[in-house]
Amino acid sequence: MHDKCHGPTAADSFSKDERAAVYKAIHTRRDVRDQFLPKPIPDEVLMRLLDAAHHAPSVGFMQPWNFILISDPERKQEVHQAFTRANEEARAMFTDDRQALYAALKLEGILKAPLNICITCDRTRGGRVVLGRTHNRQMDLYSTVCAVQNLWLAARAEGIGVGWVSIYHDADMRRILGIPAHVEIVAYLCVGYVDELYQAPELEQRGWRKRLPLDELIFRDRWSGCDDPETLSSDHPHPDQAGVSPATPSVSG
């Protein structure tokens, strides 16, 4: 017999309005960089966002995440300097005709956002052997990404914008925030209220890339076009190892 407090409950579907709200949050979520307002986030609202993140699924229920809240101007300035150095390096990686557009893009809101949040993954949490991670070591990182997405969608529902900054050297961020070696940095987020959002992702509107057609990304039962055993070999080079230039800035849409 199931425990009455922790047993299964009815899997009721959402009402039409509830369902629409979920899809609205998904489809209108944007990566915010320059639209932040100086209005601080009340503690009770911030705790709702963090609680939403904390309710993400995690392999073996290991809950590997931690949340570093950064509001000190001097600390944010250090992070911004680290970003600026890395961003200059990143710009040089693109072809000449893309460098001008890259330089015109606003890729972070570190100083403008009233709050920055660094979300990390403690890979030792749960011990050496974690249920569900025995054969795929990366599952704890994927779990932490789910926490990021939970926070982002909850923020959208609260009228709060989020921007993901990923252009920095890992060593710089570890030094600035005092992050130990066994903990992975998964996301550095700029967070704050906004009063307007782009109707489409900024990179799409600025002509960097277009959204790919969904029907071109769906396969049935197995990867399409990979009948040749040679293409399935582990010796086949990964794009990052084959000299392929980066196609987009390291930020989300």
Q: What percent of the chain is modeled with pLDDT above 90?
A: 71
Q: At what angle do helices 43-54 and 139-157 cross, to 10 degrees?
A: 140
**pLDDT tens digit string along 73-131?**
999 999 999 999 999 999 989 887 788 888 888 889 999 999 999 999 999 999 999 99
Domain 37-196 homologous superfamily, CATH: NADH Oxidase (3.40.109.10)
**Residue 66 or 3, more confident:** 66
> What's the whole-number mean pLDDT along residues 47-73?
98
Q: What percent of the chain is modeled with pLDDT above 70?
A: 87
Domain ranges of the chain: 37-196
**pLDDT tens digit string along 183-218?**
999 999 999 999 988 888 888 888 889 999 999 999
Q: What is the mean pLDDT of the chain?
A: 89
Name every residue whose Cβ is closer than 8 Å to that of residue 148 and which is 6 or more positions away in sequence: 53, 119, 164, 186, 187, 189
In this prediction the pTM is 0.88
What single letter denotes the amino acid at residue 37?
A: L
